Structure 1
Amino acid sequence: MRRLRRLLLLLTCLAIAVPPVAVYSDAVAQERVQRRTVLDLLFGGFGFGRRAQQQPNYQQRQQQHRPQTRSEKPKTKKKVPPAIAVPEPVVVAKLPDARKVLVVGDFIASGIGDGLTEAFTEMPGVAIEARTNGSSGLVRQDYYNWQTELPALIDEIKPAVVVLSLGANDRQMMTIGGSKEKFRSEAWSKEYEQRVAALSSFVLEKKVPLMWVGMPAFQTTSMTADMSAFNTIYRGTVEKTGGTFVDIWDGFVDESGKFVVTGSDINGQQVRLRGSDGVSMTKAGKRKMAFYVEKEIRRILGDAMTIGQPQGGEAVSNLVVTTPTDAADIVRTQPISLTDPALDGGTVLLGGSALDKGSGRSPRDKMIQKGEFAAAPEGRVDDFRLDKRPQPIDPQKATN
């Protein structure tokens, strides 16, 4: 009992001697670093985990007080430069007495008309008049008859040149004398050739130059073959009547003669020439078709190309193709193949002389076969003569 009283008295004294415990705020308690023991170092005790939890808070406080660098400034929207205004093409007013070029035919002729309009847009002395019917041809005269429509157009417009292109819609049966003939039969081909001759002869009888533009290749193989056959008829018939046949075939095929969608434009750049259907022409394709016709038009119109042109500008007269006034001024020579000249009949280039006939053996062959060495010219590096002085000429040998 005495021991118990002594123990209670001792505890009471200790409670009086101990000062009151200070109350810390939550923030101070969180920042207080607890002492780490050996067990904490070995097994990662409470102190290590406490620091790991405090680390994010420290980084957050650093991020809050860290100054903003130049690269972290709020990005502003880039100013989009204003779109460059594309200048509209210069429209040149045509002169009242401008030479007119009449373009007639189907949808291929319509494309040629668009290309020629672009080619001569800055030339006041030349006007393009396109009067085409995209679905017309020479077979269905009941739908559109060019033999009756073309005379009226020539009398109305009074053109200086007529550009004609037909045939893309003519792959069909033809009515001849009340009966229908199959496409490209003997009777069909004969009648078709007569219609081509009649149309071209009528234009030439009006004393108007005619340029018949051939058909290009198309995407389908059968249509391309038919267009090639048409071009043969056009060339033979039109040139026989006195017109000019303009061949555009090579401009729309590759080196092997196959249809191409893309190719070179008039400036040599690779562009799309044909539409997705393999029949129609793009703007670049129309311009390329017109390029073949443009050269011939410039030759025919001559001085009309420079009428109304400002002085000091581009010399349009340089683009005009002129022919020699006298046929005697034309110099001709046989073509010569670069690989085998003997096959085409030509052995001498223009202005050259005939080659010296030889044995056909080279100096190397002579050296190997007979041990003959060709004498080196004086002064050359392989001139190994001991006495290189010029030898006197023997008069007796010279006379012999």
Structure 2
Amino acid sequence: MTVWRAIIVSLALGCALALPIGSAFAQERSTRTLFEVLFGSGDDNQQAQPPAQPTAPVTSQPRPQAQPAPRTQPQPAPAAAEPEVEKSQNARRVAVFGDSLAVDLARALERLYAENPEVVVDEQAVGSSGFVRNDFYDWNAAIEDEVIADSFDVAVVAIGINDRQALNGADALSDPWRTAYRARLDAFLADLGAAGKQVIWLELPPMQQPSYGAAMAQISSIHKAAVGAASGVWVETYDRYLGEDGTYSADGPDLNGNIVEMRKGDGIHFSAAGADKLAFYIDRALGGTTGGRVSMSGSTSEVADLLAGTDAAQMIRPPYQGLEQMRLLEMASFVQDLSGAAERASDLIFAGAATAGTRSFDIEDMLEAPVGRVDAFGLGKGGVENPGGR
């Protein structure tokens, strides 16, 4: 018995020494007896399993689809700016003077002559300006400076919409006002005339507000008288921007004949299409100042006369045909040279020549065909020499 006790005590001491090393194992099986430690138990061959953790019921979730990376859309290449036409060193310099109406006109002229190397447009417009408020902007002083600088060849003037104001203490459009206003116009035009500059003056168009439009018409009439006295060119616009009923209309035919918006919403200024139409009229006036029929934009209104150079060319013909069409077109056109004498339709008939309405008529003239008439059948008055027998 003594031997067995010694063996048991030795084993117990060895186990006691080994317990600190396997502390984790001792914590895990703290309820095991010493006998179980020495000789094992029946479940030692089973691997220890970690305590089961409660889990939520598994549900079938759709697998997220991988989203394709956004494709980079090819950006269109910026449109290449149209190359500007290089202007000639001797290009005609057209300066546009005036108020905000002149701004619209200058933009349109720039578009019209963009590809014409022989014309340069210089905008000299000042919004809210006029000939009344020279304390705001003095056009008479400004034109003197431009003439001295020789900055232009042709002066295109569109001005007046701000001039319904008192001048030198006189009410607008009163007699003293008209006298003072005309004096400023004359001084302006005199500076241009002394420098030999060509002047093209734009008539004020109809306005939407009736009383304002009536005032603009009176101011425009003063302009016309002054321009005529200075031998300038007057470009009519009033009738050409009226509606079919003869009143103000915001719409009208453009250069292609389409009915489009001609005026801006304020009832005063021009839309782009309306300004382009103005530029067309100015272009014809610019062509006329050279003494030719071809406009500065390169177009022409000449009509070929198939009878030119023949005896028939001297005969009286219906209006708007042949040789005299251009003169009639000028008389009915939108450009008036106020320095010239008025032309009349009767000028188409040669001076001193008898007309069908003034000479006597013989009924036999209808019966006896003259030589060359279709019903003369080779004979007719005066006979026909035909030595060949044909």
**TM bin (shorter chain):** 0.5 to 0.7
C-alpha offsets along residues 293-323 of structure 1, whole Å, 9 cap, x if unaligned? 11011233579x899xxxxxxx9374699xx
* Alpha-carbon spacing, 1:320–1:163, altered in 2? closer, same or farther (3 Å): farther
- Residue 159 (structure 2) pairs with residue 170 (structure 1): no
Which residue of 1 is the match for residue 146 of structure 2? 153
Which residue of 1 is the match for residue 173 of structure 2? 184
TM-score of the two chains, using structure 2 as the length reference: 0.56
- Give, in angstroms, the shift of residue 225 of structure 1: 0.6
2:239 to 243, 246, 250: 250
* Alpha-carbon spacing, 1:165–1:140, altered in 2? closer, same or farther (3 Å): same
* Alpha-carbon spacing, 1:295–1:86, altered in 2? closer, same or farther (3 Å): farther
1:264–1:270 Cα contact (<8 Å) kept: yes
2:283–2:295 Cα contact (<8 Å) kept: no
SS in 2 for 1:181: coil
In 2, the alpha carbon distance for the partners of 1:142 and 1:205 equals 25
- Residue 84 (structure 2) pairs with residue 121 (structure 1): no
Q: Which amino acid letter does the alignment assign opposite residue 96 of structure 1?
A: Q
- Residue 193 (structure 2) pairs with residue 200 (structure 1): no
2:129–2:137 Cα contact (<8 Å) kept: yes
* Alpha-carbon spacing, 1:273–1:86, altered in 2? closer, same or farther (3 Å): farther
Unmatched runs of 5 consecutive residues or more in structure 1: 1-81, 308-314, 322-328, 334-344, 359-376, 378-400
2:357 to 334, 350, 354: 354
In 1, the alpha carbon distance for the partners of 2:346 and 2:186 equals 40
Which residue of 1 is the match for residue 298 of structure 2? 316
Unmatched runs of 5 consecutive residues or more in structure 2: 1-74, 304-322, 329-343, 362-366, 368-390
SS in 2 for 1:316: coil
Q: Which amino acid letter does the alignment assign opposite residue 116 of structure 2?
A: M
How many aligned residue pairs are there? 249
Which residue of 1 is the match for residue 126 of structure 2? 133
- Give, in angstroms, the shift of residue 348 of structure 1: 11
In 2, the alpha carbon distance for the partners of 1:144 and 1:164 equals 15
Which residue of 2 is the match for residue 143 of structure 1? 136
In 2, the alpha carbon distance for the partners of 1:188 and 1:151 equals 23
In 2, the alpha carbon distance for the partners of 1:173 and 1:251 equals 30
SS in 2 for 1:202: helix
* Alpha-carbon spacing, 1:86–1:275, altered in 2? closer, same or farther (3 Å): farther
* Alpha-carbon spacing, 1:148–1:347, altered in 2? closer, same or farther (3 Å): closer
* Alpha-carbon spacing, 1:171–1:348, altered in 2? closer, same or farther (3 Å): closer
Which residue of 2 is the match for residue 372 of structure 1? none
Q: Which amino acid letter does the alignment assign opposite residue 170 of structure 1?
A: D
Which residue of 1 is the match for residue 380 of structure 2? none
- Residue 107 (structure 2) pairs with residue 107 (structure 1): no
- Could you tell me the percent identity over the aligned residues? 27
- Residue 300 (structure 2) pairs with residue 297 (structure 1): no
Q: Which amino acid letter does the alignment assign opposite residue 191 of structure 2?
A: F
2:209 to 220, 227, 245: 220
* Alpha-carbon spacing, 1:119–1:319, altered in 2? closer, same or farther (3 Å): farther
In 1, the alpha carbon distance for the partners of 2:348 and 2:191 equals 43
Q: Which amino acid letter does the alignment assign opposite residue 356 of structure 2?
A: S
2:204–2:216 Cα contact (<8 Å) kept: yes
Which residue of 1 is the match for residue 274 of structure 2? 285
2:131–2:181 Cα contact (<8 Å) kept: yes
1:298–1:319 Cα contact (<8 Å) kept: no
Q: Which amino acid letter does the alignment assign opposite residue 247 of structure 1?
A: E
In 2, the alpha carbon distance for the partners of 1:121 and 1:347 equals 41
1:299–1:320 Cα contact (<8 Å) kept: no
* Alpha-carbon spacing, 1:350–1:226, altered in 2? closer, same or farther (3 Å): same
1:298–1:320 Cα contact (<8 Å) kept: no
- Give, in angstroms, the shift of residue 87 of structure 1: 8.7
1:234–1:245 Cα contact (<8 Å) kept: no
Which residue of 2 is the match for residue 95 of structure 1? 88
2:205–2:241 Cα contact (<8 Å) kept: yes
1:303-382 equivalent positions in 2, closer than 5 A: 316=298, 318=300, 350=349, 353-354=356-357
1:263–1:271 Cα contact (<8 Å) kept: yes
Identify, as 1 or 2, the structure richer in helix: 1
In 1, the alpha carbon distance for the partners of 2:298 and 2:347 equals 37
